[in-house]
């Protein structure tokens, strides 16, 4: 295994501590030393990178990933793609995430049953570049629920964007089948959504015993349940039954907020701001309904989400930046802009956001003791950044400012010759 020594870095370690100058030694897949400059031996048998004060930080972690969403305008378009081509597109997005500095991704649903599983396995075997991936099932919804695209005159097998189930027996069976196929995450859709006027966000669609059935299977198979939950009641039934990851929480009322706070050590919330912001701003350009009434409905969802996230922040709940990318108006590769939204709209500091995107990201991946921090013994998933993200988070949106990307001690993007000089000239200017 090879060794790499990063010298003279401005270390942003993900713990929330202020950056400091440091040398970081990587051996094999892990970080073996973090020291102040000059404390490590002057002669170490390792590739040496002179960082010249560039920021060294943990790789970013996306908590709401849909690698098999292919930047289409409508979910119906996902179903027209043959599985072979769909897998290639999924792997293409996996590489894009790693190119963008995302070294790990928690999936929030696949669009065909085994796409995430096959992509994860190919990445783990080193056959294709991509982030660490927690692979998800397709979404489980109720008949007529969000994502049920079936039509009476079509073969139901043509509509696998979600899997409709009714009653705890069917949800339990679907969850067990997904576990059999090797998923890490079971995804449920207990509420309505902004994009479905007939099923508004305030509506709760799944029953308590249906949610309980999926959570029962997850516990038996040591899996995680994630939920699209916008309505207050859907949030509450998720908390009651042991759902670990709650997306949106748009209309969480005081009781729901209290419940989330009471379980803040075991629950993560990801509001997915970007998909709502861009839906409001850009979706009309791609043929989606954009009447004044629709814009008002989307804006109401956005403002309610903002208010809820501010309350959860005050209560100490772990709220993570992740934007539900993979639609034509919210395409893959722009994920880091959610970090800026957290500062501009939710009142987070840049440091708080980076902790959410790294340290808490490691926790949502179930790897909090070895991922998400630049610390001795942790996996060497790191970024070398041209500039200070604490001064300007938008730096992380520019792939050209990512001087190096390392995953598991191996460079996905190695620093170029003259990198240090370019960084020094930029910072001097």
Q: Which of 101-115, 128-142, 342-356, 409-423 has the lowest mean pLDDT?
A: 409-423
Nearest to 195 by CA among 302, 116, 109: 302
How many domains are contained in the chain? 2
- Mind listing the pLDDT tens digit for each residue in 136-151? 999 999 998 887 777 7
Same structural domain, 117 and 127: yes
Same domain? For 132 and 261 the reply is yes
Domain of residue 115, residue span: 60-364
Q: At what angle do helices 232-241 and 254-262 cross, to 10 degrees?
A: 20
Neighbours of 138 (CB within 10 A): 24
| Residue 429 confidence (pLDDT) above 90 | no
Counts of helices then strands in the chain (DSSP H, E): 12, 18
> Do residue 181 and residue 305 come from a single domain?
yes
Residue 240 and residue 142 in one domain: yes
Domain termination residue (choose one: 364, 397, 417): 364
Helix, strand, or coil here: 14? coil
Asked if 343 and 419 sit in the same domain, the reply is: no
Q: What is the CATH number of the domain that holds 327?
A: 3.20.20.140
CA angle in degrees (0–180, nearest 5) for 109-114-116: 50
Q: What is the pLDDT of residues 155-186, one digit of tens each?
A: 655 556 789 999 999 999 999 999 999 999 99
Q: Which phi and psi (to 5°) does residue 394 adopt? A: -65, -15
Determine what percent of the chain is predicted with pLDDT higher than 90: 78
Look at residue 12 and tell me whether its pLDDT is greater than 90. yes
pLDDT band at 427 (very low <50, low <70, confident <90, very high): low
Given 3-state DSSP classes, what are the helix, strand and coil percentages for the chain, each rounded to the nearest 5? 40, 25, 40
- Residue recorded with tokens 């139901």: 156
Residues 118 and 151 placed together within one structural domain of the fold: yes
* Domain shared by 326 and 414, yes or no: no
CA dihedral 191, 197, 202, 205 (to 10 degrees): -30
Domain shared by 49 and 170, yes or no? no
At 256-303, the pLDDT tens digits run 999 999 999 999 999 999 999 998 888 778 777 778 888 888 899 999
The Cα-based distances of 326 to 100, 117, 274, 334 in angstroms read: 15, 18, 11, 10
Which residues have a Cβ under 8 Å from the Cβ of 428 and sit 6 or more positions away?
none
Residues 106 and 43 in one domain: no
- Give residue for tokens 């005050």: 314
Question: Is residue 241 helix, strand or coil?
Answer: helix
d(CA 116, CA 282): 28
Which residue is listed with tokens 């996306």? 62
- 272, 232, 233: which is closest to 252 by C-alpha? 232
HSE (CB half, 13 Å, CA atoms) of 335?
31
Question: Are 122 and 137 within one domain?
Answer: yes
Q: Pick the closest to residue 116 from 17, 179, 183, 162 (CA basis).
A: 183
Q: Around 109, how many Cα atoms within 13 Å sit in the side-chain half-sphere?
A: 27
**Do residue 107 and residue 124 come from a single domain?**
yes
Domain boundary among 364, 388, 419: 364
Which range (75-79, 188-192, 387-391) has the least confidence?
A: 75-79
Q: What is the CATH number of the domain that holds 34?
A: 2.30.40.10
For the stretch 246-256, pLDDT in tens is: 999 999 999 99
Instruction: Report how far apart, in Å, the C-alpha atoms of 416 and of each of 33, 47, 290, 340 are.
Output: 24, 13, 46, 28
Same domain, 40 and 111: no
Q: What is the mean pLDDT of residues 65-80?
A: 85
Q: Which of 336, 364, 392 is the last residue of a domain?
A: 364
């Amino acid at each position: 295994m090879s060794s790499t020594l990063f010298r003279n870095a401005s270390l942003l370690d993900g713990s929330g501590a202020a950056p400091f100058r440091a040398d970081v030694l990587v051996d094999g897949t892990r970080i073996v030393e973090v020291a102040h400059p000059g404390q490590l031996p002057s002669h170490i048998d390792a590739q040496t990178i002179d960082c010249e004060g560039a920021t060294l930080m943990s790789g970013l972690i996306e908590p709401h990933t849909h690698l098999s969403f292919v930047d289409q305008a409508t979910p119906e378009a996902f179903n027209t793609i043959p599985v072979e081509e769909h897998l290639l597109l999924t792997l293409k997005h996996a590489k894009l995430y790693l190119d963008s500095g995302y070294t790990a991704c928690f999936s929030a649903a696949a669009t065909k049953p085994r796409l995430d599983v096959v992509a994860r396995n190919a990445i783990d075997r080193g056959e294709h570049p991509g982030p660490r991936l927690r692979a998800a099932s397709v979404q489980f919804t109720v008949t007529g629920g969000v994502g049920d695209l079936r039509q009476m005159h079509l073969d139901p097998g043509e509509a696998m964007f979600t899997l409709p189930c009714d009653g705890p027996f069917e949800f339990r069976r679907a969850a067990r089948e997904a576990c059999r196929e090797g998923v890490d995450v079971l995804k449920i859709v207990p509420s309505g959504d902004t994009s479905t006027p007939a099923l508004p966000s305030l509506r709760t669609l799944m029953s308590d015993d249906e949610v309980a059935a999926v959570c029962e299977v997850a516990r038996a198979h040591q899996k995680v349940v994630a939920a699209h939950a916008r309505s207050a009641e859907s949030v509450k039934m998720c908390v009651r039954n042991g759902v670990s990851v709650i997306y949106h929480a748009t209309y969480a009322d005081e009781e729901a907020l209290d419940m989330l706070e009471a379980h803040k050590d075991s629950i993560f919330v990801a509001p997915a701001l970007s998909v709502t912001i861009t839906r409001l701003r850009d979706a009309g350009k791609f043929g989606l309904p954009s009447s004044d009434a629709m814009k008002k409905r989307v804006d109401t969802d956005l403002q309610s989400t903002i208010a809820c996230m501010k309350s959860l922040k005050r209560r100490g709940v772990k709220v993570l930046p992740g934007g539900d990318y993979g639609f034509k108006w919210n395409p893959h590769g722009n994920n880091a802009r959610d970090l800026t939204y957290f500062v501009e709209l939710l009142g987070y500091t840049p440091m708080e956001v980076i902790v959410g995107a790294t340290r808490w990201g490691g926790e949502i991946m179930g790897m909090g003791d070895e991922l998400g921090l630049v610390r001795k013994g942790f996996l060497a998933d790191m970024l070398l950044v041209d500039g200070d993200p604490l001064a300007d988070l938008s730096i992380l949106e520019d792939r050209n400012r990512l001087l190096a990307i390392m995953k598991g001690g191996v460079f996905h993007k190695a620093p170029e010759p003259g990198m240090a000089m370019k960084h020094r000239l930029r910072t001097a200017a």
